[in-house]
Chains A and B, each alone.
Chain A
Amino acid sequence: MTSNPMKLVALAAVAVTGILLLSATPDFPAWGDPQSPASTSAMSKHYITESRFETQVPNLVTSVLADYRGFDTMFETVVILVAGLAIIGILRRPFQPGPRKVDGKKEPDLIQVVTCRLVVPVLQLFALYVIAHGHHSPGGGFQGGVMLGASFILMTLTGGLPATLARLPEQRALFLAGLGVLIFAGTGLLCMMLGGNFLDYEVLHRIMPGTGPVMARSHSMLIVEIGVAFTVCTIMFSIYAILSSRGEMRGGL
């Protein structure tokens, strides 16, 4: 049984779909058209013109992500956490000593170790900057969290998985991941307890000294972004650690 019939059928299906889609492109708005339906919607105009008064955050993407569409972002964080948990459930197993097909034990290379030692502090510091400065420049919780996770992956690649697990044990990583989602959802619940709607940050100005409703939204955005960064960083590292060590968290790539 060859797979050539399947490839021909696939090619035909893909060609038909492609031609149908290509023939429909003149119905789309032109590239860069300021009058396209997406650009002239009332919501888009509201976010661009009113965000500075309602949230005092210059980065429109962050204000939409963490405040106006905060509910969506919260569930996105939950998706990351659930993906990490699913991978643990699928792959994680106790260490089985015995002959291994892939030999992961090697002396750490000197150049790699020294380079890692130079790069990782700067990388982590920059990641923290990206998280904290997400209000004023491109950045935020997801971007900074991924960079933090990448710094741990770099440590694993150069120094070996046991050395990195000594710094960020599996239990602590999972705890921090859950803590991130708890920070996000907890902020929303705190808003409800103070009398507002879920994730309605304005009512938090009563417990934040020295701020009004508008700045309370700005500060709450930073809090939820920190929660997001916790979850993203630890889950990115956990995914890499489990996948590369085939679930055993002992050796690896």
Chain B
Amino acid sequence: MSLELVQDYANYWAYIVLMMIGMFAMISKNNLIKKLIGMVIFQSAIILFYVSTGVKEGANIPILSHDEVHPAHHGDDHAGDSHDAPHDKPHHADAAALDPARFSNPIPHVLMLTAIVVGVSTLGVALAIVQRVYTDYGSIEEDEILEQIRPGAHD
């Protein structure tokens, strides 16, 4: 197990361990809330995994500085409010090109923003369902609920 192997892939090992902890909780725990916590742990591992694919060595955050958004060759009309009144078309030829390797990949961040929000919504609905199960069956332990639904039956 060389050091480079650990250095390159240790993050994936951490996420897989988290994922397996979450999966074990979802399958084997009896308490419904603990199952939900397992689901949240699983989602967090997935989100971490995706965000880690956007990392580039030595890269900065995906936010440009003011000079990079308005390249220097028309630096005299920044006091104006409409930046593109005389020049609307992209200036590819005369502005210095941005090196994509200097910025982290923005796409995984965007996808995971959506995933986090959807995860929170799912968790909210799941908690509401658990509350409703509690008021209807009087318990949030899976085996007690199954006893009430199917008396004396096995899993």
Contacts and interface: CB of A to CB of B under 8 A. Distances in A.
A65 B112 CA distance: 11
A210 interface: yes
B54 A39 contact: yes
B17 interface: yes
Contacts of B103: 48, 60
Interface in A37-68: 38-39, 41, 43-45, 47-50, 52-54, 56-61, 64-65
A70 to B, nearest CB: 11
B90 A58 contact: no
A43 to B, nearest CB: 7
Interface residues of B, number: 70
A214 B19 CA distance: 43
Interface in B72-90: 81-85, 88, 90
B98 A48 contact: yes
B22 to A, nearest CB: 10
A174 B33 CA distance: 27
Contacts of B100: 39, 44-45, 48-49
Contacts of A87: 124-125, 128
B105 to A, nearest CB: 5
Contacts of B59: 34
Contact of B13 (A25, A49, A90): A25
B37 interface: no
Contacts of A142: 113, 117
A211 interface: yes
A213 B88 contact: yes
Interface stretch (A7-15, A159-167, A176-184): A7-15
Contact of B12 (A28, A34, A69): A28
A196 to B, nearest CB: 16
A103 interface: no
B148 interface: no
A104 interface: no
Interface residues of A, number: 73
Contact of A49 (B98, B122, B125): B98
B65 A58 contact: yes
Given A38-B54, A53-B90, A69-B110, A86 B128 contact: yes
Contact of A53 (B5, B10, B91): B91
B97 A59 contact: no
Interface string A1-41: 10100110011011101100110011011111110101101
Given A61-B110, A69-B110, A90-B125, A210 B82 contact: yes
Given A10-B24, A91-B131, A215 B90 contact: no
Contact of B107 (A15, A43, A73): A43
Contacts of B28: 3, 6-7, 10-11
20 contacts: A3-B28, A18-B19, A38-B108, A48-B62, A53-B91, A54-B90, A60-B103, A61-B110, A65-B113, A79-B117, A83-B121, A91-B128, A91-B132, A136-B63, A138-B61, A210-B82, A211-B82, A214-B83, A215-B84, A239-B124
Given A17-B20, A215-B84, 8 more contacts: A6-B27, A25-B16, A38-B108, A61-B62, A65-B110, A138-B61, A212-B88, A243-B128
